[in-house]
Chain A
Amino acid sequence: MTGFLVVFESGLSQGAIYAAAAIALAMVWGAMGMLNMAQGAFLAVGGYASFAVVSTLGFPWWMGLPAAIIVGAFIGACLYYSTVKWMYRAPSYDTNIVIATVGVAIVVENGLLKIFTAYAKRQPFHVDGGILLDTVTLRYQTLINTAVALILMLVVAWLLNRTRTGTAIRAVSLDREAAELMGVSVQKIYLQSMVIAGAIAGASGVLLTSVIPMSPYVGHDALLKAAIICVIAGLGNIPAAFAAAFILAWVETSVSFLAGARFGFPALLLLVIIVLLWRPYGLFGRSQGGRV
């Protein structure tokens, strides 16, 4: 029973974090066909933004999350203006943009390193303690993170399905030219997608660093896991990404529990390798673009 509770609780905690990160990645990948390798760096930025606003500027601890969201939105826009805006019409865009975002990731991470140094910081947006179940603690932080991830998912789903901007984003992801012929400005849509995704990434960063020590490279593994989730859930399918995040988190924690912690992440990597070998466009992907 203890084993199950441990696996469940840590899986829930991880799942919430992966869900938030995956939603951000899925939005941009589904809407724009872009695998954003700078997402990991954005997670770190979110964490540090919260830290800077609370610890340095002295705001209350819960302001960390909104601060990260705003900063995330801002760097999402920066990424658009520095790369996507110039590249999206060129050939091989979908692979060149990955290279570009790797470059941006390095710039951002080393920038954070320069500003904040490598010493691990504590994420101010955190709550200690939890509910004792048997011998395992269901941390309050886990509950908060799950709630935040759920809210993010609902907000994004509402945005995409009930607002004109969201519908336009979906239209562009389904058929770019057709959307243009309806008066949609693809540039504006791409910018909006990246701002939204950046905001969510910022929030995910706060969630991530509430359970892991903050460092400029804290987002690397989470980025890869988010990509795995996207491939398995189907690009841009937000509710599926949300569910898949928790399922994969439980797979990871189960494997860790049964075979040893070092095999948890490799198990997920092996899973995505197998999936891609079997279905080259992901489990539910199609060969033309994605959908959001």
Chain B
Amino acid sequence: MTTPKTPSEKQNRSIQRHNTRRNELRLDIAIGLLLLGLLIIIPIFGPGRYIIGQITLFFIWAGVVTNWNLIFGVAGIYSLAQMAVFLVGGYTAALMGFYGDAPFWISAWIGAILAGIASVIIGAATLRLRGPYVMLLTLAIAVMIQKLVVTDVECFYYEGALCYPLTGGPRGLMKFGDFGFREFLGYKQAPLGKYYLGMILLTISTIFAFVIIKSPFGSAFRALRDNQLLAASRGINRVKYQILVFGMSGFFTGLMGVLYAGHFKTIGTNMLEIELLLFLLSMMVVGGLGTRWGPIMGGIIIMVSNELMKEMGEWRMIAFGVITVFFIVALREGVVGLANNAWLRWRNRSSN
């Protein structure tokens, strides 16, 4: 593309860009409404508790990956501590429920805020680090938390003859209450409460993510990711943006953690294991690092593949490993990236 030189050329170019953005927005809204519509009506067909539960799980993971993508894909900060932030949210709600009988609807906010703070701390810690060192630092933080919790076996609290460690220890936390859907909707319909709650949370989270990506925020992150020195010389304040993105992403991830705790009524540090890390990583990579729809599309693909491979034992994880390696080696732009390229090629061909 040649650089526009005359004022009218420049005006045409900016009109072009405005139109592209508007079309992109329309496309996003169309896809979003379509998906949302589908998800809203699925329960009407009575697919059963299992499927409702799995889609709820999809909401949770897609929510985590959407927010992880902001840090990892858009900002290019390869943090591996996302699940630790997730657990801060979940554990806060669980601990408050277990020790204080706090209702979930209140502890959810506290959990999310604490998760946001934790995320900001991690973000601040990674400010001066580059590349694999970021991964190492965040991994060290996550593993440290995991080791400390999982070895916590000293009895802190006794219920009759049962011993409970302060943090729940290796068994994790249970019996901390939940969202109260069972009382509200009855046993049969309770899963639907969590389903729609998850859907709403994912939708809000996704909208926030899209707004960030398409805003000057997003271009600032991309600029920082692609060429730090150039961005700095243009006056982009890296510290401010880094703290902000970690904070927001942490808040929503914490909410997802709370949702998980309320849905499964149990939470433990097994979420910090490498298998789950790869599972979520594959969603992000297959969908497309840094793309808007990547986390959701990747989430759908991986969750569906997971269902199909449920009976395959070890082959399931092997398959996920191979898929992740394949995508990161050969198809770094992911499924959404491929679709984008195909769309651009089609549009260029039709306009020529």
Are chains A and B touching in the complex at the 8 Å CB cutoff? yes
Which A residues form the contact surface with B (CB < 8 A)?
A: 29, 33-35, 82-83, 86-87, 90, 92, 94-96, 98-100, 102-107, 110-111, 113-114, 220, 224, 227-228, 231, 261-263, 265-266, 269-270, 272-273, 276-277, 280-282, 287
Question: Within the complex, what minimum Cβ distance (angstroms) separates A26 from chain B?
Answer: 13
Contact B144 A270 (CB under 8 A): yes
Residues of B contacting A227 in the complex (Cβ-Cβ under 8 angstroms): 136
Q: A94-B131, A103-B282, A272-B140 are in contact. List 10 more A-B contacts (CB 8 A).
A: A82-B329, A86-B330, A95-B134, A100-B329, A102-B274, A103-B320, A106-B275, A107-B318, A110-B317, A262-B151
Cβ contact of B140, chosen from A86, A95, A228, cutoff 8 A:
A228
Complex interface: chain B residues within 8 A of A273 (CB): 125, 137, 140-141, 144
A109 to B: closest C-beta gap in Å: 8
Contact A104-B325, Cβ < 8 Å, known A113-B314, A227-B136: yes
Which residues 87-124 of B sit at the A interface, judged by CB distance below 8 A? Answer: none
Chain B interface residue count, CB cutoff 8 Å, equals: 44
- Roughly how many angstroms separate A95 CA and B131 CA in the complex, as a whole number? 6
- Cβ of B220 within 8 Å of any chain A Cβ, yes or no, is no
Encode contact with A along B44-85: 1 for CB under 8 Å, 0 otherwise: 000000000000000000000000000000001010000000
Q: Given A100-B328, A103-B278, A224-B139, answer yes or no on A276-B132 (Cβ-Cβ < 8 Å).
A: no
Closest to A217 in B: B274
Instruction: Classify the interface of chain A: helix, strand, loop or mixed.
Output: helix
A102-B278, A107-B322 known; A114 and B143 CB under 8 Å?
A: no
A262/B140 contact (C-beta < 8 A), A114-B313, A276-B133 known: no
> In whole angstroms, how far apart are the Cα atoms of A83 and B330 in the complex?
9
Closest B residue to A93 by beta carbon equals: B131
The 10 closest A-B CB pairs, nearest first, are: A262-B151, A107-B321, A103-B324, A106-B321, A103-B325, A269-B144, A35-B132, A114-B314, A280-B128, A110-B314
Please report the C-alpha to C-alpha distance between residue A12 and residue B60 in the assembled complex, in whole angstroms.
45
Residue of A nearest to B125 (CB): A277
What 1/0 mask marks residues of chain B from 284 to 322 whose CB sits below 8 Å from any chain A CB?
010000000000000000000000000001110110111
Across the interface, do B281 and A266 meet the contact criterion of CB distance under 8 Å? no
Contact A111 B147 (CB under 8 A): no
B27 within 8 A of A: no
Asked if residues B317 and A266 are in contact (CB atoms below 8 Å), the reply is: no
20 contacts across the A-B interface (CB closer than 8 A): A29-B132, A34-B132, A94-B132, A96-B328, A98-B132, A100-B329, A103-B320, A105-B274, A107-B317, A107-B321, A107-B322, A114-B314, A114-B315, A228-B140, A266-B144, A269-B140, A269-B143, A270-B144, A273-B140, A281-B130
Report yes or no: B285 in contact with A111, Cβ–Cβ below 8 A: no
**What residues of chain B lie closer than 8 Å to A94, measured between beta carbons?**
131-132
On B, residues with C-beta under 8 Å from A are 76, 78, 125, 128-137, 139-141, 143-144, 147-148, 151-152, 274-275, 277-278, 281-282, 285, 313-315, 317-318, 320-325, 328-330, 332
Bound CA–CA A145/B97 (angstroms): 49
Residues of B within 8 A of A265 (CB): 147
Q: How many A-B residue pairs have CB under 8 A?
A: 129
Return B168 CB to nearest CB of chain A, in Å.
15
> Judging by beta carbons under 8 Å apart, are B278 and A276 in contact?
no
CA distance A106 to B276 in the complex (A): 11
Q: Which residues of B contact A98 (CB under 8 A)?
A: 78, 132, 135
Nearest residue, chain B, Cβ from A280 = B128
Q: Which residues does chain B contribute within 8 Å of A287, judged by CB atoms?
A: 130
Query: In the assembly, what is the distance between CA of A100 and CA of B274, in Å?
Result: 13
- A24 to chain B: closest CB distance in Å? 16
Chain A CB within 10 A, most for which of B134, B144, B313: B144
Closest to A99 in B: B328
B residues within 8 A CB of A113?
A: 314
On whether the beta carbons of B136 and A269 are closer than 8 Å, the reply is no
Chain A residue with Cβ nearest B129: A280
Which residues of A lie under 8 Å from residue B131 when comparing CB positions? 94-95
Assuming the contacts A102-B274, A107-B325, asked whether A96 and B136 have C-beta atoms less than 8 A apart, the reply is: no
A111 contacts B330, C-beta separation under 8 Å = no
Note all chain A residues with C-beta closer than 8 A to B125: 273, 276-277
The answer to whether B328 touches A82, judged by C-beta atoms less than 8 angstroms apart, is no
Query: CB distance A99 to B314 under 8 Å?
Result: no
Known: A82-B325, A107-B321, A111-B314. A92 touches B132 (CB 8 A): no
Which residues does chain A contribute within 8 Å of B129, judged by CB atoms? 276, 280
What's the nearest-Cβ distance from chain A to residue B290, in Å? 11
Closest to B142 in A: A269
Q: Which residue of B lies closest to A108 (CB)?
A: B321
